[in-house]
Structure 1
Amino acid sequence: MLDLSAIWNKLQGMVSGFLALLPNVVLAVIVFAIFFFVARSIKRIVRRATANRRRARNLGLVLGRLAQGAIILIGLFVALSIVIPSLKAGDLVQLLGISGVAIGFAFRDILQNFLSGILILLTEPFRINDQIVFKSFEGTVERIETRATTIKTYDNRRIVIPNSELFTNSVTVNTAFENRRMEYDVGIGYGDDIQQAKRLMLEAIASVDEVLKDPAPDVLVVELAESAVNIRVRWWIAPPRRIDDLTSRDQVLSAIKQKLYVENGIDLPYPTRQILFHDQTEATDGDRTQQREGWPAGHDRHTPKARSIGGALRYLAEQKQQRNGHQPTESAKDS
């Protein structure tokens, strides 16, 4: 028979132990909450102290977060020692070491992103408000956290990129320097004067206010293409942000088109192709000494006469009849 008195005594002992431990639990929660709010306050103080210094801003973010984490960890140790008085500092360090290894295996990606975020904040390959290109993503950096970096795309979307990806892959920073060089290839006709076209292009670029005078723009012939002579137009803008890129490109290309094509009649040719159709119904098909399409004929008098598809079919039928002993008709001979 089940001994209910033993179970009741056990429950009474557990309740008595919990009630005896309850003051320590409440005190531990209060102490941990104090450490938590102190950690948040120290983080804010460090960030404010470095907010007005661009070079030290990211360093302030790192130090603030590290200080917050360290203080919270100390508060956790103190709270555990209040709840469990027999727990010594050595036991806490040993527990931290064992749990650290387990957490490291379980949260390897999170720790990798955390360390990458710390290194990004310290080395500063890019900063907040920089415009970057990462793989197929392009936009303005909004936040750099210890786990991920957030960018805002030009079409008003938010992209969250893990820091380990940013740290181990190539990132293009479009706003890393004060100036940025733009370029575009313009094709003119082979019959146009190259020097005149280059001079007119420079005049067109100089008329755009967004283009810097120093460094000066330049124009260079870069290719003798199939349908045009390609001239590369290069100019500098500041600041090098996306909107300035689009604005200057729009005004420069519009000015060049107006100056060359409209005002001076310089051709801006589009690609042209010459297509040779090969009539495979001719009797000379495959004979390169006599065939007309695709390569030179061997001699004018051997050049075969053009024949329609219907005439070619009649010619082949009459050749077959001739081999069978029939005579060809006059109409087939003239086809």
Structure 2
Amino acid sequence: MNLNIEVAWTRLQSMLQGLIAALPNIVIGLAVFMLFLFLSRTVAAAVQSVALRTGQARGIALVFSRIAAWGVLVVGGLISLIIMIPSLNAGSLFGALGVSGVAIGFAFKDIFQNLLAGILILVTRPFRIGDQIVSGAHEGTVEDIQVRATLLRTYDNRQVVIPNSELYTNRVVVNTAYDRRRLAVVVGIGFGDDIRQAKGIILNTLRGLDLVRQDPAPAVFIREYGESAVNLEVRFWIDPPVRREVIEAEDQVLEALKPALLDAGIDLPFPTQQVLFHDQTEETDGDREQQREGWPARTQNPRSRQALLREASLHQSGDQAQP
């Protein structure tokens, strides 16, 4: 037992002596790494400034500055390791990195894929920081295009982190790609109303709205014959096409169209349902050989309610005529 304690104590003393001997190297290595950390920030700022001066987009400048900063940090980390561990030379370090390169590549395949996709997005510029896009079930404003992912801020103030590879390989709708946007609202009028008159009233109303562009001019088309109304599709253009202006323009158009149509006597019908019994509407409704609802014909047809009421009235009048 004493022998084991002496051996353990000896090893502990040797470890402490080695740590004390390595302290200067550790301090110098940490100081060198801190120097490279400061240098990485300086290099990142310089790269970003140069990229912006050459006319590159802010997103491209950010990514290039981050890549440059990472490169400086990697070099600083390798140099710090060599200083702190003198037995570790550059040849053995790069040899170990080469052996483990394949494993690292497989482990970080998704990261490298997103990195490449992020660079391609910034170079090809399908959308930029500040654009409003739709990606799958998410819609919002692009706040940042990072190396791994793109940050999207939804209209209800939530943040969505979308991998760059997903944005690069899937469909993306850019709502703010152009300086104007066409909107459409549907207005239903009654079947008995004059369609031409309704179209003229709608177009005259849109001419007085400040959020609606007159070039291209608004247009009105018959969309469909609905169950209770003739649905007209009102198309108009706005600028700029951001989400807030879209909501405000639609609100202004719908608010102005209702009183204009009602003042002109145009009906704005709402869905209704009519239930008809086969013995209460017409003479032929009870006759399955003549009725229009498509029931199969038969020889013994029930009498309609109108016929029964008429016969009862005649019978009552005949009884009153008798002395």
Same fold (TM over 0.5): yes
Deviation track 1:189-242 (CA, whole Å, cap 9, x = no partner) reads 232222222121111111100111222211122323343322221111111111
Change (3 A) 1:55 1:185: farther
In the alignment, what sits opposite 1:209? 210
Correspondence 1:19 to 2:3:
no
Change (3 A) 1:277 1:121: farther
In the alignment, what sits opposite 2:124? 123
Equivalent position amino acid for 1:68 in 2:
A
In the alignment, what sits opposite 2:316? none
Change (3 A) 1:131 1:165: same
| Secondary structure in structure 1 of the residue aligned to 2:57 | helix
Correspondence 1:190 to 2:229:
no
Equivalent position amino acid for 2:205 in 1:
A
| Secondary structure in structure 2 of the residue aligned to 1:213 | coil
1:112 shift after superposition: 3.6
In the alignment, what sits opposite 1:295? 294
Range 80-89 or range 239-248, more displaced? 80-89
In the alignment, what sits opposite 2:66? 65
Change (3 A) 1:56 1:305: same
In the alignment, what sits opposite 1:271? 271
1:304 to 293, 302, 305: 302
1:294 shift after superposition: 4.1
In the alignment, what sits opposite 1:233? 234
* Structure 1 residue runs without a partner (length 5+): 280-287, 308-335
In the alignment, what sits opposite 1:141? 142
Deviation track 1:29-69 (CA, whole Å, cap 9, x = no partner) reads 11111111111121122234445787421221121011011
| Secondary structure in structure 2 of the residue aligned to 1:25 | helix
Aligned partners of 1:277 and 1:293 also within 8 Å = no
In the alignment, what sits opposite 1:310? none
Change (3 A) 1:202 1:54: farther
Identity fraction in percent: 49
| Secondary structure in structure 2 of the residue aligned to 1:210 | coil
Distance in 2 (CA, whole Å) between partners of 1:66 and 1:142 is 19
- Correspondence 1:1-335 to 2 at 5 A: 2-3=2-3, 4-51=5-52, 55-262=56-263, 264-276=264-276, 289=288, 294-295=293-294, 298=297, 302-305=300-303
| Secondary structure in structure 1 of the residue aligned to 2:31 | helix
Change (3 A) 1:106 1:278: farther
Change (3 A) 1:295 1:87: same
Aligned partners of 1:144 and 1:150 also within 8 Å = yes
Distance in 2 (CA, whole Å) between partners of 1:99 and 1:305 is 93
Distance in 2 (CA, whole Å) between partners of 1:207 and 1:121 is 42
Deviation track 1:73-95 (CA, whole Å, cap 9, x = no partner) reads 11111112222334333322222
Equivalent position amino acid for 1:24 in 2:
N
| Secondary structure in structure 2 of the residue aligned to 1:142 | strand
1:27 shift after superposition: 1.1
Aligned partners of 1:179 and 1:236 also within 8 Å = yes
Change (3 A) 1:184 1:22: same
1:108 shift after superposition: 4.1
In the alignment, what sits opposite 1:282? none
1:153 shift after superposition: 2.1
Equivalent position amino acid for 1:69 in 2:
W
Quote the RMSD (CA, aligned, Å). Answer: 3.0
- What TM-score, normalized by structure 1, do the two folds share? 0.78
| Secondary structure in structure 1 of the residue aligned to 2:71 | helix
| Secondary structure in structure 1 of the residue aligned to 2:144 | strand
1:148 shift after superposition: 2.5
Aligned partners of 2:47 and 2:68 also within 8 Å = no
| Secondary structure in structure 1 of the residue aligned to 2:210 | coil
| Secondary structure in structure 1 of the residue aligned to 2:184 | strand
Change (3 A) 1:19 1:265: same
Distance in 2 (CA, whole Å) between partners of 1:290 and 1:19 is 111
| Secondary structure in structure 1 of the residue aligned to 2:20 | helix
Deviation track 1:145-185 (CA, whole Å, cap 9, x = no partner) reads 22322222222223333333333332222111110100112
1:291 shift after superposition: 10
Change (3 A) 1:195 1:306: closer
Aligned partners of 2:60 and 2:119 also within 8 Å = no
Equivalent position amino acid for 1:231 in 2:
L
Change (3 A) 1:135 1:278: farther
